[in-house]
Structure 1
Amino acid sequence: MNTLRIRIATILCILAFTASAALAGGPQKTLPGDLSLTQAQAVLAAAQAKALAIKVPMNIAVVDAGGNLKAFARMDDAFIGSIDIATRKATTARFFNMSTRALGAAAQPGQPLFGIEATNGGLVIFAGGVLLVDKHNVIVGAVGVSGGSVDEDESVALAGAAAIAK
């Protein structure tokens, strides 16, 4: 009988805790290091402004900390083939926590990561993918840009990344 009372008391405590958590708004849904939609949109806006300034239509992909697409923009007249490239640049940067330019340098013949672009369903190892780092120096995602030269792509990506580093 005593064991039954202990079990009932335990169940009541669990139910009370669960109810109080629900009333208090439940468990925290946004974890530290997550990229918010507001941040992703700020990255897109800054990148688009840079692309407009240099007069090159771009595809801009923003991924969250898990490498999942969070936001995307295809500017008018941007190459259709660059949609996939921009997205892969963003995910490549996030998967390896480095810019695609840096990964590309390490993936050249004779370098330690030669051939890495054939992994993970295909990576992009030329410039235009950069990490998104917040004001607390936490990686929260990445941005990938495609549509111009690799230097133009990278400059637009860096402009986007600067939007959340503030």
Structure 2
Amino acid sequence: MKTKSFLELADARLVAQAAEAEALKHQWAVTIAIVDDGGNLLWLQRLDGAAAISAHIAPAKAHAAALGRRETKGYEDMINGGRTAFLSAPAVSGLLEGGVPIIKDGHVIGAVGVSGVKASEDAQVAKAGILALGFES
């Protein structure tokens, strides 16, 4: 039997603080969502000025990144490349750049989803949060 790491509330706080700092540094009004490896919401933080819809999009991005075990940019690229049938995949939405899995020892232990600015900037905020754990995204 294998042993697997998992995110604790303290980890989610650390990720959220680092992601928030990255967003504030650039004056980006975003929502930050952090989920466990099953895509279940652990943390949701909507910064002042973030659009209301971002509170729905960020968790969806995090959920897709956790379940798919990869960055959501890959899904967006695939769909934009013509594989629109993937839009009908069950149980996933948030197939836009800005969802990044948290990987420790080769296992996805959660994900961060960010929404509110340009897609690449959303991903930048998510990755900054993950770096606070000492992991590369």
**TM-score tier after normalising by the smaller chain length:** 0.7 to 0.9
Q: CA deviation at 1:109?
A: 4.6
> Does the aligned pair in 1 maintain the 2:34–2:110 contact within 8 Å?
yes
Q: Structure 1 residues 158 and 46 mapped into 2: Cα distance closer, same or farther (>3 Å)? A: same
1:131 maps to amino acid: P
> Does the aligned pair in 1 maintain the 2:63–2:92 contact within 8 Å?
no
The size of the alignment, in residue pairs, is 133
Bigger fraction of residues in strand: 2
Q: Structure 1 residues 33 and 103 mapped into 2: Cα distance closer, same or farther (>3 Å)? A: farther
> Does the aligned pair in 2 maintain the 1:59–1:145 contact within 8 Å?
yes
- Counterpart of 1:125 (choices 73, 77, 95) is 95
- Counterpart of 1:98 (choices 24, 45, 70) is 70
Query: Which residues in structure 2 correspond to 1:45-84 (within 5 Å)?
Result: 45-84=17-56
Structure 1 unaligned blocks of 5 or more: 1-30
1:21 matched residue in structure 2: none
Instruction: State the identity %.
Output: 34
- RMSD across aligned positions (CA): 1.7
Bigger radius of gyration, 1 or 2? 1
1:107 matched residue in structure 2: 79
In the superposition, the TM-score normalised over structure 1's length comes to 0.73
Structure 1, residues 69-105: CA drift from partner, whole Å, max 9, x if none?
0111111111101111001000011111110101222
Structure 2 unaligned blocks of 5 or more: none
Structure 1, residues 49-84: CA drift from partner, whole Å, max 9, x if none?
000001011100000011100111111111101111
Partners of 1:117 and 1:87 lie apart in 2 by 17
Bigger fraction of residues in helix: 1
In the superposition, the TM-score normalised over structure 2's length comes to 0.88
2:109 is aligned with 1:140 = yes
Q: Which has the higher contact order (CA 8 A, sep 6+)?
A: 2
2:76 maps to amino acid: G
> Does the aligned pair in 2 maintain the 1:42–1:164 contact within 8 Å?
yes
